[in-house]
Chain A
Amino acid sequence: MNIRNIWLVIRREYLERVRTRAFVISTILVPFFMMLVTLGPSKLASMKATGTRKIVVVTDNAKFGDTVRAQLASNSDRKTTATIDPTATDAERDTLRARVTAGEIDGFLWAPMSDVANRKVIYTGREVGDFLEVAGLERAVTFAAIEKRMDARGIAGSDLDQLLKRVSVDTIRMERGKESKVSGIGTFLATFLMVFALYMTLIIYGVSVMRSVIEEKSSRIVEVLLASISPFDLMMGKIVGVGAVGLTQVTIWSLGGFLVTSPALLAAKGIVGDVQVPVLTLALYPFYFILGFLLYSASFAAVGAAVNSEQEAQQFNFVVMSPIIASMMVMMYIIRQPGAPWSVALSIFPFTAPICMFLRIAVQTPPAWQIAASIASMIAAVFVMTWLCARIYRIGILMYGKRPTLPEILKWMRYA
């Protein structure tokens, strides 16, 4: 190991990357894009539709109709005026259909008492895709039906509003004997953002290490480089240099995130409640980030050295990336059952640990030994992988031409 040479490679990789336009653009655009993807849809969906909706409620019971109308007027997401139509005949139905088609009314609710008794009424309208509106209708009809049933049993239905008041459940997280009030969805969102950043950087910067190896190999620069630096130093310098770029970007994102997007965060707070990420989660994030990156980038470097072009790399890439992708796929399972044996196993297995253990830490406080075990297994894996990959790298980087097969690569590892 020649520290000066490693440092020179780190510096070159870092500066050449940070100076590019691509780095600047991705640093600015990615957080923006993530905000858009995560917050945009929920924000949009929660926006109330504008304009008054005119519907006709067809029912042979005046009291039922009045209750539905009152409920729609007060509870619906969209301002709704309902008129009661007591004639539930087929001819009337056709007339109403014609009025909907003509655009006079937005739709009609076909709710004669016989249908209500069967707990099935039909809304016919031009726009039926908005589930929030349909849910509003359902609430109003259910409310009126319950009132009707209570009347039938001789209970005064006028206090129904009071009787049906919801009881809300708040979540409080215990962490080392201290309680902190966290909203479930808020924690989920914050964790999701952090895990997503971890996942993206692992893949983006892992592939970036691979690209850089392929570039040096395919342009034959490596021949010149190896006349002054050992393959191991070159690989280490590259991994650390590219990793430092990733770390820089994530740091910029998180610092900038607090400053620039605080209005957005406040908006998010309105939707999801208190967003609070526990201290332990924040403190362990860099560990999982750095260890995860070291673990994967060594494998990516080996892939880069073994192939001649990025096209050839794809097949190997999938093998390398599959544990990361698998971790993302079991994300929901781990969030819901962080203590289950599978979750524990995946969070200690080094290749899935970065994402899986981090998820567990975010939703519970796993036993200290499990956190220690996951970090220890990752450190061990980093050493083993770096050693193995350095061997593949050393041989592969001077092999041009045919793409090696897996058995050939395994043979390289045994070369002295």
Chain B
Amino acid sequence: MQPVELKNVSKQYGNFTAVDRLSFTIAPGAIYGLLGPNGAGKTSTIRMMIGITVPDTGEVRMFGEPFRREHLQRIGYLPEERGLYKKMKILDQIVFMAELHGVSAADARRRGLAWCERLQIADWAMKKAEELSKGMQQKIQFITALLHDPEFIIMDEPFAGLDPVNSTLLKDVLLDLKKQGRTILFSTHRMDQVEKLCDDICLVNHGKSVLQGTMRDIKASFGRNTVQIDYEGDGTFLERAGDLVQSSNNYGNSAEIHLKPGADAQQLLRLAAQSARISRFEIMEPSLEEIFIATVGPAEERAQTAAK
């Protein structure tokens, strides 16, 4: 049973196509990354998964059947736009949201307090939301998304505005949930933040899927053509290695180099070692961001030429 299956889903707002024939499947127990720049159609896609909007064409299937509102009790959603009732007590809000998801008031209270404990905000449970800092409010929302113990969890930009300590705290919680067999969808434009977490990804741009698959396959297919060198001394080896280097960024003691297709990294190392002391030489996987730009860039150019 696939928690989520989108088949050729499209959504139009007036003349604007927010989602364009998008299809993907999320495997049970996986962490899935729905990635793309702002305005790519990520939130529109999520809204169709939870029935806030209905697709114009195509089908959304949740837990192996066409979407029904009853599915919402099995889904946890942390929206990109955060919000709490300012004047309401934190614990009351948590209980209210959980009750809307079908949890009994007593259970919600007990679990809510346990979660507050776990996320280190138990002291604030009886305060009003307006007294809390932004980061704390975000943790509360995180709790409300998880309190009804959903099988499928949607996190829209979950780490935006969080400090590293709290980001790690939430990441650990999510990895824990994954271990328990929950399925998680990350939607974000900060690809670097979720790069190490995702099993599978879908890159979207202008409402269309531009790249899909498991993280491992995608990275492998893009090859390892980026080299990081930390050095002391003469940096002119970069110019001498013109046959090998596609492009480079030299920061003085450290350089990031994109090799030409087919170029041998070992040759570059030998060249560099002739003139400088090398303290680090690493052949790196391309980052998701680089993959995204590499995928979208030419398409973008093609689109622009076509427009002319």
- CB-CB under 8 A from B51, the residues of chain A are 230
For A28, list chain B residues within 8 Å (CB).
Answer: none
The A-contacting residues of B in range 68-82, CB under 8 angstroms, are 69, 72-73, 75, 77, 79-82
Q: Given the complex, which residues of A lie within 8 Å of B87, measured CB to CB?
A: 16, 20
CB of A12 within 8 Å of the partner chain:
yes
Q: Name the residue in B52, B54, B96 with the highest tally of chain A Cβ atoms < 10 Å from its Cβ.
A: B52
Residue pair A416, B54 in contact (C-beta under 8 Å): yes
For residue A5, CB closer than 8 A to chain B, the reply is: yes
Contact of B72 among A215, A216, A227 (CB under 8 A): A227
Select the residue from A216, A220, A222, A227 with max chain B CB neighbours within 10 A. A227
Q: From known contacts A8-B96, A228-B97, infer whether A219 and B144 are also in contact, taking CB-CB under 8 Å.
A: no
Q: Which B83-129 residues have C-beta < 8 A from chain A?
A: 83-88, 96-97, 99-101
Encode A44-71 as 1/0 by CB contact (under 8 A) with B. 0000000000000000000000000000
- B225 at the A interface (CB under 8 A): no
Is B45's CB within 8 Å of the partner chain A? Answer: no
Q: How large is the interface on B (under 10, 10 to 19, 20 to 34, 35 or more residues)?
A: 20 to 34
Is A228 a contact partner of B83 (Cβ separation < 8 A)? Answer: no
The verdict on B188 contacting chain A, using a C-beta distance below 8 Å, is no
| Partner among B47, B75, B100 whose Cβ is within 8 Å of the Cβ of A225 | B100
Asked whether, in the complex, the Cβ of A223 is within 8 Å of the Cβ of B81, the reply is yes
**Other-chain contact of A223, B53, B79, B88 (Cβ < 8 Å):** B79
Give min CB distance, B53 to chain A, whole Å.
8
Cβ–Cβ < 8 Å partners of B83 in chain A? 216, 219-224
B79 to chain A, nearest CB (A): 4
B50 at the interface (CB under 8 A from A): yes
Q: Are B100 and A229 in contact (CB under 8 A)?
A: yes
The answer to whether residues A224 and B77 also contact, given A16-B85, A219-B86, A398-B52 and a CB cut-off of 8 A, is yes
A325 to B97 alpha-carbon distance, docked (Å): 39
Contact of A8 among B69, B85, B99, B141 (CB under 8 A): B99
Chain A contacts of B145 at CB under 8 A? 224
- Compute how far the CA of A221 lies from the CA of B77 in the bound complex, rounded to whole angstroms: 12
Shortest A338–chain B CB gap in Å is: 45
Contacts of A5 in B (CB 8 A): 100
Interface contact B86-A220, CB-CB below 8 Å: no
Q: A226 near B: Cβ within 8 Å?
A: yes
CB distance from A242 to the nearest CB of B (A): 14
Given contacts A16-B88, A219-B83, contact A224 B52 (CB under 8 A): no
Among B47, B53, B80, B101, the residue within 8 A (CB) of A228 is B101
> Is residue A315 within 8 Å, beta carbon to beta carbon, of the partner chain?
no
Select which of B50, B53, B72, B84 is within 8 A of A221 by beta carbon: B84
Contacts of B86 in A (CB 8 A): 215, 219
In addition to A8-B99, A221-B85, A223-B81, 20 A-B residue pairs with Cβ atoms within 8 Å of each other are A8-B96, A12-B96, A215-B85, A220-B79, A220-B83, A222-B83, A223-B79, A223-B80, A224-B97, A224-B141, A224-B144, A225-B97, A226-B50, A227-B72, A227-B77, A227-B79, A228-B97, A230-B51, A398-B47, A416-B54
| Nearest CB of A to B63, in Å | 16
Give the complex CA separation of A16 and B87 in angstroms: 8
Residues of B within 8 A of A398 (CB): 47, 52-53
**A228 touching B81, Cβ below 8 Å:** no
**What A residues does B82 contact at CB under 8 A?**
220
* Contact residues in B for A20 (Cβ distance below 8 Å): 87
| Cα distance A8–B98 in the bound complex, in angstroms | 11
Residue among A5, A228, A416 with most chain B CB within 10 A: A228
Q: B148 to chain A: closest CB distance in Å?
A: 9
Which A residue's beta carbon lies closest to that of B52? A226
A89 at the interface (CB under 8 A from B): no
Is the beta-carbon distance between B52 and A227 smaller than 8 angstroms? yes
On chain A, the residues within 8 Å of B47 by CB distance are 398
Pick the most buried of B47, B54, B97: most chain A CB atoms within 10 A of its CB. B97
Q: List 14 A-B contacts (CB under 8 A).
A: A2-B69, A5-B100, A8-B96, A12-B96, A219-B83, A221-B83, A223-B80, A223-B81, A227-B52, A227-B72, A228-B72, A228-B97, A230-B51, A398-B52
In the docked arrangement, what's the CA distance between A122 and B100, Å? Answer: 79
In the complex, per-residue mask of A206-225: 1 if CB is within 8 Å of any chain B CB, else 0: 00000000011001111111
Quick one: closest B residue to A399, CB to CB? B13
Provide the bound-state CA to CA distance between A410 and B53, in Å: 19
**For residue B69, which residues in chain A have a CB less than 8 angstroms away from its CB?**
2, 230
Q: How far is the CA of A221 from the CA of B79 in the complex (A)?
A: 9
Which chain A residues border B81 with CB–CB below 8 Å?
220, 223
Residues of B within 8 A of A224 (CB): 77, 79, 83, 97, 141, 144-145
Q: Can you list, as one digit per residue, whether each of B144-188 has a CB less than 8 Å from chain A (1) or not (0)?
A: 110000000000000000000000000000000000000000000
Residues in chain A near residue B73, CB distance under 8 A: 228
Cβ–Cβ < 8 Å partners of A230 in chain B: 51, 69
Are A8 and B100 in contact, with the CB atoms below 8 A?
Answer: yes
The 3 closest A-B pairs by CB, nearest first: A220-B83, A220-B81, A223-B79
Looking at the assembled complex, report how far the CB atom of B66 sits from the nearest CB atom of chain A, in whole angstroms: 17
C-alpha gap A230/B69 in the complex (Å): 8
Task: Please indicate the chain A residues that have their CB under 8 angstroms from the CB of B84 in the complex.
Answer: 219, 221
Closest B residue to A397 using CB positions: B52
> Which B residues between 236 and 290 are near A, CB-CB below 8 angstroms?
none
Closest to A416 in B: B54
Residues 136-148 of chain B, each 1 if its beta carbon lies under 8 Å from chain A, else 0 = 0000010011000
Report chain B residues within 8 Å CB of A229. 100
Which B residues are CB-close (under 8 A) to A8?
96, 99-100
